[in-house]
């Protein structure tokens, strides 16, 4: 036992941090394992599940994402380590609940970080209670990985602007109640000519339609035809909206890896259980060396992914340089999402044809994991970020 006041060795400190991380993940798993799983199953694939959000709020998960907000007193942003624990724990039990939480955060954090006091009070408590659905509206048909190419126009109108154009691949669209939306206020200005706005969905000129993806994900297209926004809707400063977007993405990018880790854990747990129970060639399937080695490789990749995610989140919370956080986040996201794809694929292979049946856990995870290698910066973009840091 360490005596009071004694300093811990780096190894001991790392062990305690890892123990605390795993304990928090297990706590979130326990919360999600009952009511949330049932509500997720009862919802329609590809649609916003408002009863699920309300239940997550009742269980304190959304208030953990927006500390103090549910009571009407937002007290700052969630720690990156806590965000990762929330996403890993939920994903290991219910990807629907995990995605619902993450999308509330992505849509709400630009308002929390860049909105006026009035705007924060108008939206963040409602988002934290699950009463309002938020969405992060950045991507466009011609602007994905290179968000500086945004073309949605914000044309001056009176003291404000009118929005014209299209947003694509917007999670929670068109069912969200408020959009953190990014529009070009200065033509030809690149990243410096974009402004962020909070756009209530009820504004005339804001319409949309749902899209269907491989993954069971609420996502759609937004069409803006003169929807009005005013000075009070601006998040941050005019022409500085790209920084608002990056502030949110910097916080959330490591946690995409945590989402992947949670899914990979669910797949590995399923594979271990199935191969121990499945009888083949006179014994358990797990008795075969090829199967045992496959499970060992999955477990090793899962642990490496979790450690990279934890390192990136810890670096963010410690306030190290943005360059170091960006590099750590890129490594965590690319490794964890690519590893999760391999782990889930391997687990499905061990299950054989039963893993391909619609509704099976592995079939669900196989569809769900694929998108993580694309959104919030595709794997190729993450590798470019890492390489630039090495070659600078």
In CATH, which of 3.40.50.740, 3.40.50.12780, 3.30.470.20, 1.20.140.10 is domain 243-391? 1.20.140.10
pTM assigned to the model: 0.93
Q: Which of 88, 301, 338, 376 is catalytic?
A: 376
Residue 181 corresponds to which tokens in the numbers above?
A: 């939306």
- Contacts (Cβ under 8 Å, ≥6 apart) of 21: 81, 84, 85, 310
| The predicted structure's pLDDT at residue 1 | 40
Average pLDDT, consecutive stretches of 10 residues, N- to C-terminus, the chain (392 residues):
60 83 94 93 91 96 94 90 97 96 97 96 96 97 80 95 97 97 91 94 97 89 98 97 93 95 98 94 92 98 97 95 92 98 98 95 96 92 93 84
HSE-CB for 221 with a 13 A CA cutoff: 8
Could you say which architecture CATH assigns to the domain 10-132?
Orthogonal Bundle (1.10)
* DSSP letter for each residue of 261-301: HHHHHHHHHHHHHHHHH-EETTEEGGGSHHHHHHHHHHHHH
3 state DSSP class of 165 = strand
| The predicted structure's pLDDT at residue 5 | 53
Distance between CA atoms of residues 162 and 322, nearest Å: 34
- Contacts (Cβ under 8 Å, ≥6 apart) of 169: 139, 144, 211, 219, 375
HSE-CB for 285 with a 13 A CA cutoff: 17
The number of residues in the chain equals 392
| The predicted structure's pLDDT at residue 125 | 96
CA 95 vs CA 32, 268, 269, 280, 330: distances in Å? 10, 15, 15, 32, 22
Could you say which architecture CATH assigns to the domain 135-239?
Beta Barrel (2.40)
Give me the residue spans of the domains in the chain.
10-132, 135-239, 243-391
237 given a catalytic annotation: no
| The predicted structure's pLDDT at residue 72 | 87
Residue 166 corresponds to which tokens in the numbers above?
A: 């299209």
């Amino acid at each position: 036992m360490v005596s009071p006041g004694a300093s811990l060795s780096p190894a001991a400190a790392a062990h305690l941090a890892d123990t605390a991380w795993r304990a928090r993940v297990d706590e979130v798993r326990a919360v999600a394992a009952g009511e949330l799983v049932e509500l997720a199953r009862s919802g329609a694939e590809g649609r916003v599940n408002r009863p699920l959000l309300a239940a997550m709020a009742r269980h304190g998960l959304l208030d953990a994402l927006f500390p103090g907000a549910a009571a009407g007193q937002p007290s700052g942003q969630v720690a990156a380590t806590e965000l990762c624990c929330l996403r890993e724990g939920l994903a290991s039990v219910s990807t629907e609940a995990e995605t619902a939480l993450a999308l509330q955060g992505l849509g709400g954090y630009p308002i929390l970080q860049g909105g006026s006091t009035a705007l924060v009070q108008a939206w963040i408590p409602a988002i934290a209670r699950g009463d309002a659905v938020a969405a992060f509206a950045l991507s466009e048909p011609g602007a994905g990985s290179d968000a500086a190419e945004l073309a949605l126009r914000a044309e001056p109108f009176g003291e404000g602007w009118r929005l014209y154009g299209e947003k694509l691949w917007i999670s929670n669209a068109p069912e969200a109640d408020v959009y953190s939306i990014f529009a070009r206020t200065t033509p030809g200005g690149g990243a410096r000519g974009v402004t962020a706005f909070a756009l209530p969905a009820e504004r005339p000129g804001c319409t949309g339609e749902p899209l269907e993806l491989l993954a069971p994900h609420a996502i759609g297209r937004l069409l803006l035809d003169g929807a009005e926004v005013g000075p009070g809707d601006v998040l941050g400063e005019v022409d500085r909206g790209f920084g608002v977007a990056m502030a949110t993405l910097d916080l959330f990018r490591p946690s995409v890896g945590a989402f992947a880790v949670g899914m990979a854990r669910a797949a590995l747990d399923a594979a271990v259980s199935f191969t121990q129970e499945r009888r083949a060639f006179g014994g358990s399937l797990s008795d075969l060396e090829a199967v045992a080695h496959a499970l060992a490789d999955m477990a090793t990749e899962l642990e490496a992914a979790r450690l990279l995610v934890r390192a990136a989140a810890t670096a963010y919370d410690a306030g190290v340089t943005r360059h170091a956080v960006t590099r750590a986040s890129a490594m965590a996201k690319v490794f964890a999402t690519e590893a999760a794809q391999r782990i889930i694929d391997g687990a499905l292979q061990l299950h054989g044809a039963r893993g391909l049946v619609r509704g099976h856990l592995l079939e669900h995870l196989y569809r769900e994991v694929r998108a993580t290698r694309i959104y919030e910066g595709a794997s190729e973009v993450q590798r470019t970020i890492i390489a630039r840091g090495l070659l600078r």
